[in-house]
Amino acid sequence: MSKELIRLADCTMAFDEDIVLDKINLRIQDKEFLTLLGPSGCGKTTTLRIIGGFQTPTSGDVLFDGVRINAVPPHKRTINTVFQKYALFPHLNVYENIAFGLRIPKADAKGGKVKLPEEEIDRRVTEMLEVVNLKGFEKRRITQLSGGQQQRVAIARALVNQPKVLLLDEPLGALDLKLRKDMQNELKRIQKAMEITFVYVTHDQEEALAMSDTVVVMDAGRIQQIGSPEDIYNEPQNAFVADFIGESNIIDGIMRADGVVEIFNRRFQCLDGGFEKDEAVDVVIRPEDVDIVPEDQGQLKGTVTSVTFKGMQYDIIVDFYGFKWLIQTTDLSPVGSRIGIKIDPDGIHVMKKSEYSGMFGDYSSYSEEYEEISSADPDGEGSGDEE
């Protein structure tokens, strides 16, 4: 569909002895919306800074349009950045902030420098102010803007230069939920309309899924998985990805044959194959993929240990043979009731064992937390001792 624009090849970044990025391999397609997603400190900003030219990888190559650009300084790259804390110039007003890049003379074909005419600058700044909905704010000082407005100035200041690539480092981090959602749509719209490659950094998985063409899940300086939002959600590669993207129950299983996985000594139909016979695996079951049925009809039977009302649905914790699952359901099953569950083959996802096995996907602590909260509640049932 489109060509490769940026490539990180075996990029390693080390600060002193501290390896922050470990042999990152990443291809970014022209005009795509790619998101780097991962927990704090996993190396997202560092990756972005390598692309932007603010950091040179300790080893490995950065390619832009097939050309190695490791040593090209930031001001010579056709890449612009929206910084994590905006970094707007406090001594300039909104207009001059946006015009900053346009006022810099550019090298022309003959090796000379050309300045954009003032009318051209004015036209482009005005147009950009319209794109980010900030008409009438030209003369405002940066200090007189709200967080959301500052953020839009930062986007305009970068976009007005018509870069090939826009790097955005958690641009919505400081905004409230409502504004965040609006800006997500806005950014997506701008990216489509201007046909610019976006490399977007976030640690919010919902945001990543909603906005991206490609999601890159990172942890501890390594890329865990690259794929479309659907792939990442439906086919997580390991327990870390499964847990980081949405809620998951992750259970030890044994692959008895292609399409047959055994959990809690019961065999389930699934769609995965290609494993060794009797290979130990991690099985992911999303809380919304579980159907609750009367106990006698269930593939597994368990006891409800807690119920939380979440608006759209109830989050219930069910104890199966000592292992606690999170299940989302619209029908209320009271605490203490016995239920059965059924899982369709496409609701089961089998993963190879990894270094993350056993670390995620167990809701025992979740339900304990919940019980603590409810017993602290003076109206709750568990508070009899104090009366």
Partner 1 sequence: MKSKLSWFAAPYVVWMALMVVIPILIMVVYAFTAADAADFEGTLENFSEMGSYASVFLRSFRLALVATLVCLLIGYPVSYWMAHEGPGFQRVAMALIMLPMWMNFLLRTYSWMSILENNGLLNQLFRAIGLTWLLGVDYIPMIGTSGAVVLGMVYNYLPFMVLPIYSVIIKLDHSLLEAARDLGADDQRVFRKVILPLSLPGVLSGVTMVFVPSVSTFAISRLLGGGTQIMLGDLIEQQFLGGAYNPHLGAAISMVMMVIVVVCMAVMNHFGEGEEQAVML
Could you say which of ligand ATP, Mg ion, partner 1, none residue 15 binds, taking C-beta under 5 to 8 angstroms by partner kind? ligand ATP
Site string for partner 1, 81-100 (x = CB under 8 A): x-x-x-xxxxx--------x
In the complex, what is the shortest distance from the CB of residue 157 to partner 1, in angstroms, rounded to a whole number?
7
With binding defined as CB under 5 A, does residue 45 bind Mg ion?
yes
Contacts to ligand ATP from residues 199-238, by CB under 6 A: 203
Beta carbons within 10 angstroms of residue 148's beta carbon: 18
Which does residue 143 bind out of Mg ion, partner 1, ligand ATP, none, counting CB within 5 to 8 angstroms by kind? Answer: partner 1
Rounded to an integer, what is the distance from CA 364 to the centroid of its chain? 26
Residue 143 binds to ligand ATP (criterion: CB under 6 A): no
Is residue 320 involved in binding partner 1 (CB under 8 A)?
no
Residue 43 binds ligand ATP, judged by CB under 6 A: yes
Among 6, 26, 42, 208, binds ligand ATP (CB under 6 A): 42
Q: What is the full DSSP assignment across 72-116? A: --GGGSSEEEEBTTB---TTSBHHHHHHTTTTS-EE-TTS-EEPP
Identified binder of partner 1 from the candidate list 74, 273, 294, 382, rule CB under 8 A: 74
What CA–CA distance (Å, rounded) separates 92 from 139?
9
**Closer residue to ligand ATP in complex, CB, 19/92:** 19
Footprint of partner 1 on 97-136 (CB under 8 A)? 100-101, 104, 106
Residues paired with residue 292 on neighbouring β-strands, in sequence order:
341
Q: By the 8 A CB rule, do 10 and 68 touch?
A: no
Give the chain's length.
Answer: 387
CB atoms within 10 A of CB 346: 11
Binding to Mg ion by residue 46, rule CB under 5 A? no
Enter the tokens of residue 131: 């794109």
- Partner touching 255 among ligand ATP, Mg ion, partner 1, none, CB below 5 to 8 Å by kind: none
Binding residues for partner 1 restricted to 32-71, rule: CB under 8 A: 52, 54
Q: In what order do the strands lie in the sheet with 79-82?
A: 79-82, 165-169, 197-202, 33-37, 214-219, 222-227
CA distance 90 to 294: 64
Binding footprint of ligand ATP on the chain (CB under 6 A): 15, 18, 20, 38, 40-46, 203
Binding footprint of Mg ion on the chain (CB under 5 A): 45
